[in-house]
Amino acid sequence: MRWFNAEGLWLAVLAGFVALSGLACNAGVNLLAVTPPPPTIIVVVATPTALQEIPIPAYDLAEQQIINVYERVSPSVVHITSRAEVFDFWRGVVPSEGSGSGFVLDGDGHIVTNYHVVKNATQVEVLLADGTAYPAQIVGSDPYNDLAVLKIEIAPDLLVPVEIGSSQNLRVGQRVIAIGNPFGLDRTLTTGVVSALKRTIQTDNGQALGEVIQTDAAINPGNSGGPLLDTAGRVVGINTAIESPSGGSVGIGFAIPAETILRVIPELLARGYYPHPWLGFTTYELSYELTPSAAGPDHGLLIVQIENGGPAAEAGLQAAEARREGRRVVFNGGDVIIAVDGHTIKSRDELTILLANQKQVGDLVDLTVVRAGETFTVSVRLGEAPR
C-alpha cells in the first residue's frame, strides 16, 4: 500500500492478487497466464479548502420561480383607498376610510378590485407601485360576484397590465401566490397551495357565491382585491374573503376564480353592471324550511310568490296559497321545482349558483316541476334580475 498527496486530495491505492492456487494446481494451469489485472480501489477525501470552492446557488428553482413572479407582477398591483360617509348614532355623519388591493387590467387605466373595497365610496384613490397616487372613478360593479372596475387617467406606458389566466385546470395542491396590501403593507407576497375548489361562501348580501377557490396562502384585511397567481404569474383568482375567528389569517382564504372575472368584467366595462339571469319567483326549501306534504316530493323549492310579468309568470308556473293557522303559516298547492336542466335542486343556494355560473339572460331552461302529485317539465326563458 502506498499513500501520496496530489493537489490537496489524498489518494490511497491498494493492489492485490487473487489466490487461485488450489484451483490452478488442480487444473495444472499457469497462474501468470489466467490471473486478471489486480483491482484498484481509490478513496478520495476532500479537504475543507476544496469544499469551499464548490459554488452554491443563491436560490433553488422553486424560489427563483416565485422571485420572478413577484418582480414581474408586483408593479401591476395597486393600493386602493376609499373614503365614505357613514352615520354614527352619537356623532351623526362622519367620514370613514378603508383600504384594499387591486390590479391593472389594461393600458387604458382600468383597475380590477373587489366591490366591498369601494362599496358606498364617495372618493377612491389608487396608489401605483412607483408611489404615485391617482383619483379613480368607479366604472362598474357587481355586488353578487364582489367585483368592481375602476379607472384612472394615466399614460399607458406607465401601466403594467396583468395576464388573466384560467382557473379551470387548477388542482388541489397546486402552488399559488398572493400579492396585496395587508394592513396597508404595500405589495406583500405570500405563498401557499390550492386547498379546495368549488367552495360556496356567503356574500355581504346573504347570497351564496359558488365555484370559489380556497387557499392557505396568508390573506389578511387589505389583501381583498389583489390577485391570486399561478407560478407562471397568471391571475387565477381575486382574493376576496377569509374564514377566521380572529379577523386575521388562519390559513383559510377564498378567491373568486378567473373564469368569473373573464365573464363579469367585460359586462362591467360595457354596461356598468352585470345582468344576472332571473326566474321571477320566491321559494321556500322543503325539508329545511317547510315540512314536505305526504303526497309531494321530499325535496325541492316550493314557489310561494311569482312576480307579475316575470319569466315564471309567463311560463304559467303557480305559487302556493298561504294561510295562517294560529302562529303558523301553512301553504296549500303551488309548484315544487325539483330540477333545472336535469340537475337536482334541493336548496336556493344550488339554484342561485347554477344560474349565476352556467346561465345567462335569455337562456331557455327546463324546470322539472311537481304539481298536485304530477311531475312535468316547463321551459322558462330567463329574464334579467331587477337591480
Q: Which of 110, 85, 114 is nearest to 99 (CA)?
A: 114
Active site residue 224: yes
- Report the top-level CATH class of 175-271: mainly beta
Q: Which residues are bridge partners to 93 per DSSP?
A: 87
Query: Distance between CA 265 and CA 209 in Å, rounded?
Result: 16
Give me the torsion for CA of 212, 217, 219, 223, rounded to 10°. Answer: -80
Sequence letter at residue 328: R
Query: Is-same-fold flag (175-271; 277-384)?
Result: no
Domain boundaries, the chain: 2-52, 78-158, 175-271, 277-384
Query: Distance between CA 361 and CA 287 in Å, rounded?
Result: 30
Is 120 in contact with 84 (CB distance < 8 Å)? yes
Q: What is residue 101's predicted lDDT score, i.e. its pLDDT?
A: 97
Q: Which of 276, 208, 221, 217 is nearest to 248 (CA)?
A: 221
Phi and psi at 285, nearest 5°, equal -90, 130
Query: Distance between CA 110 and CA 139 in Å, rounded?
Result: 8
Count CA atoms closer than 13 A to 36's CA, side-chain side. 2
Query: Distance between CA 376 and CA 177 in Å, rounded?
Result: 49
Active site residue 116: yes
1: cell is 500500500
78-158 is classed CATH 2.40.10.10: yes
Sequence letter at residue 80: I
Q: What is residue 138's predicted lDDT score, i.e. its pLDDT?
A: 97
Query: Distance between CA 172 and CA 194 in Å, rounded?
Result: 5
Catalytic: which of 79, 116, 142, 335?
Answer: 116
34: cell is 489466467
Phi and psi at 111, nearest 5°, equal -120, 135
Catalytic: which of 99, 167, 195, 224?
Answer: 224
Give the helix/strand (H/E) hosting 358.
helix 348-358
Query: For the structural domain made of 277-384, what CATH number should be given?
Result: 2.30.42.10
Taking only the tens of pLDDT, the chain with its 387 residues reads 344 343 333 333 333 433 434 433 343 434 334 445 555 555 555 555 555 566 667 788 889 999 999 999 999 999 999 998 777 777 777 777 889 999 999 999 999 999 999 999 999 999 999 999 999 999 999 999 999 999 999 999 999 999 999 999 999 999 999 999 999 999 999 999 999 999 999 877 778 999 999 999 999 999 999 999 999 999 999 999 998 888 888 999 999 999 999 999 999 999 999 999 999 999 999 988 888 887 789 899 999 999 999 999 999 999 999 888 888 888 889 999 999 999 999 999 999 999 999 999 999 999 999 999 999 999 999 999 998
Strands (E), 2-145: 2-6, 9-14, 41-45, 77-88, 92-104, 110-113, 123-127, 133-142
Is 9 in contact with 45 (CB distance < 8 Å)? yes
Question: In Å, what is the CA distance from 361 to each residue of 103, 142, 275, 355?
Answer: 29, 15, 7, 9
Q: Which of 248, 223, 205 is nearest to 117 (CA)?
A: 223
Q: What is residue 281's predicted lDDT score, i.e. its pLDDT?
A: 97
